[in-house]
Amino acid sequence: LARFVYRDQRIRDYFDLQIWVCVSTKFNEVRLTLEILEHVCEDKQEYENISNFNILQEILMRNIRNKRFLLVLDDTWEDKDRNGWTKLLAPLKSNQVNGCMVLATTRSTSVAKMIGTMDEVRLSGLDEKGFWLFFKGCAFGNENYEGDPSLQSIGKHIAKTLK
């Protein structure tokens, strides 16, 4: 869903900058700042040999100033380092342009609450029948597949496990 929103033409037209960063399980504010800078800086030489977090954050602040941005923090798991999140997001929150947005994708309610950029939106999975059609489309190339019954039986078992 986040990728669909990120690629939508209305989003592209609305935001000056679109930034997608995969956070994963290894939260590191320097690495994440460098990845954000890859999206916002035209010249990589501006930041590529810098490892000082404060200087990187100043470069980030300078490059997002007066720009409306969408930052997607994808696959976020870190919920222990509140201070690290505060430091990472500080230049983004100090931007004076209205309409900027930080969107975090996570499977953890505690992460959503800690980042707290907005109220969480919970997505539930598909019902069993809908998921089976989706699974058949992915596995067999056609949601109407009615071939080998043993393959279908195995597929239904996998689909039930995946939910």
User: Do residues 68 and 33 share a domain?
Assistant: yes
User: Which residue(s) pair with 17 in the sheet?
Assistant: 69
User: Which residue(s) pair with 21 in the sheet?
Assistant: 73
Domain count, the chain: 2
Looking at mean pLDDT, say which of 46-50, 102-106, 107-111, 148-152 comes out highest: 46-50
Domain coverage including residue 141? 128-162
Cα–Cα dist 30/12, whole Å: 27
Per DSSP bridges, beta strands 69-76 and 101-104 are parallel
Residue 105: φ, ψ to 5°: -100, 135
Report the pLDDT averaged over residues 9-33.
93
Cα–Cα dist 148/12, whole Å: 44
CATH of the domain at 90: 3.40.50.300
Cα–Cα dist 22/144, whole Å: 34
User: Do residues 75 and 137 share a domain?
Assistant: no
**Is there a domain that residue 120 lies in?**
no
pLDDT for 56-76, tens place per residue? 999 999 999 999 999 999 998
Q: Confidence band (pLDDT; 50, 70, 90) for 39?
A: very high
User: Do residues 12 and 61 share a domain?
Assistant: yes
* Predicted pLDDT of residue 9: 95
**Is there a domain that residue 121 lies in?**
no
